[in-house]
A and B are shown apart, each in its own frame.
Chain A
Amino acid sequence: MGKGSYRLGCDIGGTFTDFVLVNDETGEFSTNKCLTTPSDPSDAVEEGIRDLLIRNPDADANIEEIIHGTTLVINAIIERKGAKTGFITTRGFRDILELGREIRYDAYDIFSEYPAPLVPRYLCAEVDERVASDGRVIKPLDVEGATDAIKKLRDQGIESVAVCLINSYENPVHERIIKTLVEETAPDLFLSTSFEVLPQIREFERACTTATNAYVKPITAKYLAKLDARLRSLGFGGRLYIMLSSGGITGVEAAREYPVRIIESGPTAAVIASQYYGRMFEIKDMFCFDMGGTTAKSCLIQKGHAGLVSTFEVGRVQRFKKGSGLPIQVPVVDLMEIGAGGGSIAKMSKMGLLQVGPESAGADPGPACYGLGGENPTVTDSDLVLGYLDPDYFLGGDMKLDKTAAEAAIKNKVADPLKTSVVDAAFGVHDLINETMAAAAKTHIAEKGGNPNVVTVSAFGGAGPVHAYGLARKIGAPRILVPPLAGVGSAMGFFTAPVAFDLTRSHRVHLEDADFSDIEALFKALETEGAAILEKAARDEKIIFERTLMMRFVGQGAETDLPLGGEPFDQLSRQEIRDLFDGEYRRLYGRTYPDNPVEFVTFKLRASLPERPFRLPTMKVSSGKLEDAVKGKRNAFSVVQKKYIPFSVYDRFKLFAGAVISGPAIIEERESTIVVGEDALATVDEYGFVWIDLDK
């Protein structure tokens, strides 16, 4: 790489930490991968960067930005390794966290487990105060009592404290006083207040989100401080950004203040990369498909935008059962995660049917073919038996796979019990996992109002490019896109993520009674707040604001989201707003009721900076011969003919722009393998993307 300005993306995953260094002037990349160091993740970060700098001496001191994603927060929650945290609430309600919403998430299971609150009951304190649901102060805060409560919790050894008082979403006056008290009397404590973390009605969800923020705040702050120091010691003088669950990136200050917003930092990156490619290639409907060892994550991207949702669960006691985790209400990319990965275990179910996943063999013992003692057949085992994977070229040959062990596992656990052949069983496993993902994909796409028959599937992750072909066939997608470095594709997403922050404010008022200039003022206030957060991120650019209304029929309990255009609110008419609502409601539920009054509930604002496009490096348009890229031929299973046929095997690194490969073909790279069926045609473009057209 030559001189110029550089950016570095760094993604800490469960097993590996991935790095991508990009030279913004030439568009050239350099990548690195090293083992994650769980005891101190910044060890791996420093080591990996040091390594990259040795290989790219010009980048030293020329890195302008480092963009970072981490599983630190989610792991701290799942493994319960956050800080000892206290909780302060209104007298009479210390059990908010303990009670939760009381619903049994599995109605027919009398032995269901439930997640324990992040703050144990003995660290939940009550203070005398009360605010009514309309914001009136019924009983002023007992300041002395609150001071004692803080002191007592501190004496119990807490490091962080969450404050959530009843009805504070409507009037946070007492939370503000407690905030001051903590700052004055216990400045060493980390503090999270519910009016700042989530100013929304429903005390359990607000308390849980605030307590989670408090629980991970110290660990995040310490980590970020340490990371920052280590980066500076490497000579880094640029800006550090952190990936948010919402798909934006933010400066370190906001991440430190609201770590609950970076929980899904990792999985989001692939979606953001897809979003960027979607815009770059002007693809209207993209389906991002990221399949790793344990799960597959996917997301529909329409016109270059992934959807956002405002609630999700972490730390599920039963991993794929809705309701068995802790609810977190912050903006998060609407991605769907299911238990389908290379390690998903296949077996015969109680119903005498084939079942694959959601349990995974993980990395230890891993699939049977790893030869580490795993006896359960997995998706990777079936991919090996079907010939898609090369036993001698897994991870570029660094890891040999044992095909005999894979066959034996499939025979014992699937083929024999289901009274079928090993080959049929192996294909069944491959096909069922594709079906499972396809069914989930179809549901997800349908929910977003998309059409699977027009999407381009963008494949990421170790297993993504292996299964993308089968998945695309099942959902009827005509095209697949496999970006370069699909194995570290997530880290690429960091370069394309906009600096962005989402804010909300609740203000309930009937459409007929609303003063539109008040609402314009409210949006303006949110804009000022958003600008302040972005300015800390210190880029001198024009800020983009996007407004969304959350409205409902008077008396309903949930809202319908209505994105607005750019016009000032006081220039809109009531009828325009009403039409917007009725149109969306009819689309979602079939009918609307124009005579029934509607109300505003919450106003949302996204403040963002323009994306910084990066130039992808172009490949040399070589006059190279395709034959030079051929590694040989091997028999692999045709999903069309349901039998083994010869596939040509190519080395992806030897392909060139303009190369056209007719299936059946297998394209191998170090971290993944691309399967191209006999009815498909693969072309390589000038950036090294592989485009696969089905039904050639």
Chain B
Amino acid sequence: MNAQNKTKFDPITLEILWRRLVSIVDEADASVARTAFSSLLRDAHDYTCMFTDSRGQELVQGTFCTPGQAGAMALGVKKIINSIPLDQYKPGDVYIINDPWLLAGHLNDVCVLSPIFFKDKPVAFTACVFHHSDIGGRISSDNREVFEEGLFIPPVKLYDAGVLNQQVLDIIRWNVRTRDEVVGDIRSQVAANHVCAQKIIEMMEEERLDTLDDLADEIITRTEASMRSAIEAIPDGVYPYTGIIEGGKRKDITISLTVTVDGSDIAVDFTGTSSQVDWGVNVVYNFTYAYVFMAIKSAFDPDIPINEGAIRPIKMTAPEGTIVNCTFPAAVAARMQVGHFMTEMVFKALSAAAPDNIIAGSGGTPAQTNIMYGRRKSGKPWHTMIIRGGGLGAGSRMDGHHCAIFPANGANTPVEIFESDTPLLVKSRGLVTDSGGPGTMRGGIGRQMVIHIPKDEFGPQDPTTIAVQAGRYIYPPEGMFSGKPGTKAKFQKNNEDADPSGLTFCNAGDTIAFYSAGGGGYGDPLKRDPDAVKQDVLMGYVSAACAETEYGVAIDPDTLEIDVDRTRLLRGQS
């Protein structure tokens, strides 16, 4: 960097420009809620906005991002941008891509990418990935290859120098079930990029900048330094961990990883992990990386905005053809069922080295997703997707929050929105008592949602199809340091356990219940403050019976008073 640039970005100016970049991307992010069509986007916020400098290096991502998309985009968008010579971009170009290996690991995550021109030069790129609940194909986690999972879009131009490529839009339109919604959401992506580009140009004009690259270098360098100093605080060492993820009807999956901390570098290696499988839970490298990154970022340096610099100190290796670095044409639709576990696995590997920086297993790992579709009596198709969290794992200083999607992120769909988008009726949605794993710090509470398919003139035609992509039906979220596990997830049809993999076909009159898992506890439950247990009983998070058996606290269920003597006895204190 030359001397002039050094004076250009003194620490104070830099701070100000940086903040402005964050507010620009957040503004683009906020526009999505106002323009999107699908409730998965406008209500559940399953999308990420970001932008890069002219070299494709990520500069800023949205504050309300989804870490899987965001982390994968940091790698993928750069690769896409650099696959085309810079001088071949034209103002008004808009690219569309959903190649899972280039981006966020399944076809539903569609990226729209545009160059930003300032004074006739491409100075930046803006990109957003939206999770489209419909990308055609056979919606199920038991497909054998990606070809069955829907429409595959390599990088193509949706707009060429500002002119719409109608054929591309038509191909998409004829490959999906709910064309108006999908096309509307693609337009919302174009609008989000427009908002972002407009604001960046305004900023460059006002700040009299000709390029963002110098600014990017400065921001990235400082972020890298911050991340490195956080990593330096972890004792050097080699930290292996091997964990099992349930395969349901199929074989369990083994994840074998070794975290090596060396000064300010972290390397994570997946040698020994299971090979890719012939169903939809395979994970591409980018997506695995995103959740390894999530673990390290959230444990050690959560405050600094994310950009290229944050990922530099973290290296990841995984043999090709393993389930965490699958090869084309593996089926990948349900990649979160494995990918989301990466964060928890890295936490477990580091648990002895950094016990205060991590949390126990979470019921929202993996995110519980359900796609539901069918036809109304009028013949009109309906289609929706909801995501559900579970109890967050407890940490050394905090109970787990209830109902969080972790390590991914997102919101619930309001019941009133769900019911106005579908012909279904929600019977209940609420917390499940005693689902949080007992511990000195209690795991977060899981929740249930019960949906009824009305058998009347307002209900749907048969069948109503439900695809479940979730987990924790066999192995519950584990506790840590003598904390106990949370409860397992459950999927029921008409009050009987049903198969949570693949597709479930339902008829009018059926009732479907989803129970998500509770978070794991942290520390010995017998050491939990009896007053905290009493409060949990008052709130109905924990039953009086469970307070006694798990926490060794005797509470009168009517008066809610603690029986001190019996509690002492139960806890083995004299």
Residues of A within 8 A of B (CB): 91-95, 98-99, 101-114, 120-122, 130, 132-134, 136, 138, 166-167, 169, 201-204, 322-323, 349-355, 418, 428, 431-432, 435-436, 438-440, 442-443, 446-447, 553, 555-560, 588-591, 593, 596
User: Which residues of chain B are near A588, meaning CB under 8 Å?
Assistant: 31
Residues in B160-211 with C-beta less than 8 Å from chain A: 180-181, 184, 187, 190-191, 194-195, 198-199, 202, 206
Encoded as 1 (CB less than 8 Å from any A CB) or 0, chain B from 358 to 375 comes to 110000000000000000
Kindly report which residue of chain A lies nearest to residue B447, judged by CB atoms: A99
- In the complex, what distance in Å separates the CA atom of A351 from the CA atom of B225? 8
Given contacts A110-B299, A560-B34, A589-B191, contact A95 B430 (CB under 8 A): yes
- A93's partner among B195, B206, B430 (CB-CB below 8 A) is B430
- In the complex, what distance in Å separates the CA atom of A446 from the CA atom of B64? 22
Instruction: Identify 7 residue pairs between A and B in the complex whose beta-carbon atoms are under 8 Å apart, listed by A's number.
Output: A91-B428, A132-B419, A132-B458, A167-B416, A354-B15, A557-B39, A589-B195
In the complex, how many angstroms separate the beta carbon of B354 from the nearest chain A beta carbon?
A: 12
Kindly report which residue of chain A lies nearest to residue B17, judged by CB atoms: A439
Within 8 Å of chain A (Cβ to Cβ): is B42? yes
Within 8 Å of chain A (Cβ to Cβ): is B538? yes
User: Which of B66, B358, B389, B540 gathers most chain A CB within 10 Å?
Assistant: B540
Within 8 Å of chain A (Cβ to Cβ): is B67? yes
Are the C-beta atoms of B37 and A556 separated by less than 8 Å? yes
Are the C-beta atoms of A590 and B198 separated by less than 8 Å? yes
Are the C-beta atoms of A439 and B181 separated by less than 8 Å? no
User: Which residues of chain B are near A439, meaning CB under 8 Å?
Assistant: 16, 19-20, 23
Kindly report which residue of chain A lies nearest to residue B23, judged by CB atoms: A443
Stretch touching chain A among B131-139, B395-403, B548-556: B395-403
In the complex, how many angstroms separate the beta carbon of A437 from the nearest chain B beta carbon?
A: 10
Count how many chain B residues have C-beta atoms less than 8 Å from C-beta atoms of the other chain.
88
- B16's partner among A111, A138, A435, A559 (CB-CB below 8 A) is A435
Are the C-beta atoms of A107 and B66 separated by less than 8 Å? yes
User: Which residues of chain A are near B411, meaning CB under 8 Å?
Assistant: 101-103
Within 8 Å of chain A (Cβ to Cβ): is B154? no
6 A-B pairs besides A106-B302, A596-B184 with CB distance below 8 A are A99-B402, A109-B302, A110-B406, A122-B538, A446-B199, A553-B184
- In the complex, what distance in Å separates the CA atom of A298 from the CA atom of B184? 35
Are the C-beta atoms of B410 and A103 separated by less than 8 Å? yes
Are the C-beta atoms of B12 and A354 separated by less than 8 Å? yes
- In the complex, what distance in Å separates the CA atom of A560 from the CA atom of B191? 14
- In the complex, what distance in Å separates the CA atom of A156 from the CA atom of B62? 45
User: Which residues of chain B are near A92, meaning CB under 8 Å?
Assistant: 426-430, 450
Are the C-beta atoms of A202 and B65 separated by less than 8 Å? no
Are the C-beta atoms of A558 and B42 separated by less than 8 Å? yes
Are the C-beta atoms of B458 and A555 separated by less than 8 Å? no
In the complex, how many angstroms separate the beta carbon of B269 from the nearest chain A beta carbon?
A: 23
User: Which of A98, A106, A112, A122 gathers most chain B CB within 10 Å?
Assistant: A98
Given contacts A99-B429, A353-B11, contact A591 B191 (CB under 8 A): yes
- In the complex, what distance in Å separates the CA atom of A203 from the CA atom of B418? 11
- In the complex, what distance in Å separates the CA atom of A418 from the CA atom of B195? 37
Are the C-beta atoms of A166 and B16 separated by less than 8 Å? no
Identify the 7 closest CB pairs spanning chains A and B, nearest first: A92-B428, A557-B42, A95-B430, A590-B194, A589-B191, A103-B411, A133-B419
Within 8 Å of chain A (Cβ to Cβ): is B27? yes
- In the complex, what distance in Å separates the CA atom of A209 from the CA atom of B456? 34
User: Which residues of chain A are near B225, meaning CB under 8 Å?
Assistant: 351-352
In the complex, how many angstroms separate the beta carbon of A162 from the nearest chain B beta carbon?
A: 17
- In the complex, what distance in Å separates the CA atom of A107 from the CA atom of B419? 28
- A203's partner among B33, B198, B398, B414 (CB-CB below 8 A) is B414
User: Which residues of chain A are near B194, meaning CB under 8 Å?
Assistant: 589-591
- B304's partner among A134, A351, A355 (CB-CB below 8 A) is A351
In the complex, how many angstroms separate the beta carbon of B298 from the nearest chain A beta carbon?
A: 5
Are the C-beta atoms of B191 and A169 separated by less than 8 Å? no
Are the C-beta atoms of B42 and A432 separated by less than 8 Å? no
- In the complex, what distance in Å separates the CA atom of A192 from the CA atom of B70? 42
Are the C-beta atoms of B12 and A431 separated by less than 8 Å? yes
Residues of B within 8 A of A (CB): 11-16, 19-20, 23, 27, 31, 33-37, 39, 42-43, 45, 63-67, 70, 180-181, 184, 187, 190-191, 194-195, 198-199, 202, 206, 222-223, 225-226, 229, 294, 297-299, 302-304, 306, 358-359, 389, 392, 395, 397-398, 401-406, 409-412, 414-417, 419-420, 425-431, 447, 450, 458, 538-541
Are the C-beta atoms of B416 and A201 separated by less than 8 Å? yes
Kindly report which residue of chain B lies nearest to residue A508, judged by CB atoms: B420
Are the C-beta atoms of B395 and A111 separated by less than 8 Å? yes
Are the C-beta atoms of B19 and A436 separated by less than 8 Å? yes
Q: Inter-chain contact count A-B, CB under 8 Å?
A: 210
- A110's partner among B223, B302, B429 (CB-CB below 8 A) is B302
Kindly report which residue of chain A lies nearest to residue B397, judged by CB atoms: A111
Kindly report which residue of chain A lies nearest to residue B15, judged by CB atoms: A353
Are the C-beta atoms of B397 and A94 separated by less than 8 Å? no
Are the C-beta atoms of A436 and B420 separated by less than 8 Å? no
User: Which residues of chain B are near A133, meaning CB under 8 Å?
Assistant: 416, 419-420
- In the complex, what distance in Å separates the CA atom of A167 from the CA atom of B415? 9
In the complex, how many angstroms separate the beta carbon of B36 from the nearest chain A beta carbon?
A: 7
In the complex, how many angstroms separate the beta carbon of B250 from the nearest chain A beta carbon?
A: 30
Kindly report which residue of chain A lies nearest to residue B418, judged by CB atoms: A133
Are the C-beta atoms of A432 and B419 separated by less than 8 Å? no
User: Which residues of chain A are near B14, meaning CB under 8 Å?
Assistant: 353
User: Which residues of chain A are near B395, meaning CB under 8 Å?
Assistant: 110-111
Kindly report which residue of chain B lies nearest to residue A418, judged by CB atoms: B11
Are the C-beta atoms of B415 and A166 separated by less than 8 Å? yes
- B398's partner among A101, A111, A166, A446 (CB-CB below 8 A) is A111
User: Which residues of chain B are near A556, meaning CB under 8 Å?
Assistant: 34-37, 42, 184
Kindly report which residue of chain A lies nearest to residue B41, judged by CB atoms: A557
Given contacts A350-B303, A352-B11, contact A93 B66 (CB under 8 A): no
User: Which residues of chain A are near B11, meaning CB under 8 Å?
Assistant: 352-354, 418
User: Which residues of chain A are near B45, meaning CB under 8 Å?
Assistant: 103
- In the complex, what distance in Å separates the CA atom of A556 from the CA atom of B302? 34
Kindly report which residue of chain B lies nearest to residue A205, judged by CB atoms: B414
Are the C-beta atoms of B33 and A557 separated by less than 8 Å? yes
Are the C-beta atoms of A432 and B302 separated by less than 8 Å? no
User: Which residues of chain B are near A589, meaning CB under 8 Å?
Assistant: 31, 35, 191, 194-195
User: Which residues of chain A are near B426, meaning CB under 8 Å?
Assistant: 92, 166
User: Which residues of chain A are near B412, meaning CB under 8 Å?
Assistant: 99, 101-102
- B539's partner among A122, A557, A590 (CB-CB below 8 A) is A122
In the complex, how many angstroms separate the beta carbon of B227 from the nearest chain A beta carbon?
A: 11
In the complex, how many angstroms separate the beta carbon of A333 from the nearest chain B beta carbon?
A: 19
User: Which residues of chain A are near B202, meaning CB under 8 Å?
Assistant: 446
- In the complex, what distance in Å separates the CA atom of A323 from the CA atom of B404? 14
Are the C-beta atoms of B43 and A557 separated by less than 8 Å? yes
- In the complex, what distance in Å separates the CA atom of A352 from the CA atom of B225? 10
Are the C-beta atoms of B226 and A351 separated by less than 8 Å? yes
In the complex, how many angstroms separate the beta carbon of A622 from the nearest chain B beta carbon?
A: 43
User: Which residues of chain B are near A122, meaning CB under 8 Å?
Assistant: 538-540
Are the C-beta atoms of B64 and A103 separated by less than 8 Å? yes
Are the C-beta atoms of B415 and A136 separated by less than 8 Å? no
- B540's partner among A114, A121, A351, A355 (CB-CB below 8 A) is A121
Are the C-beta atoms of B409 and A555 separated by less than 8 Å? no
User: Which residues of chain B are near A99, meaning CB under 8 Å?
Assistant: 402-403, 412, 429-431, 447
Kindly report which residue of chain B lies nearest to residue A109, judged by CB atoms: B302
- In the complex, what distance in Å separates the CA atom of A346 from the CA atom of B37? 44
- In the complex, what distance in Å separates the CA atom of A349 from the CA atom of B403? 33
- In the complex, what distance in Å separates the CA atom of A167 from the CA atom of B36? 23
- In the complex, what distance in Å separates the CA atom of A496 from the CA atom of B202? 35
User: Which residues of chain B are near A591, meaning CB under 8 Å?
Assistant: 187, 190-191, 194
Given contacts A432-B12, A439-B19, A443-B23, contact A120 B458 (CB under 8 A): no
Kindly report which residue of chain B lies nearest to residue A452, judged by CB atoms: B206
Are the C-beta atoms of B64 and A323 separated by less than 8 Å? yes
Given contacts A101-B412, A102-B389, A103-B64, contact A432 B15 (CB under 8 A): yes
In the complex, how many angstroms separate the beta carbon of A562 from the nearest chain B beta carbon?
A: 14
- In the complex, what distance in Å separates the CA atom of A588 from the CA atom of B12? 32
Are the C-beta atoms of B190 and A136 separated by less than 8 Å? no
In the complex, how many angstroms separate the beta carbon of A459 from the nearest chain B beta carbon?
A: 21
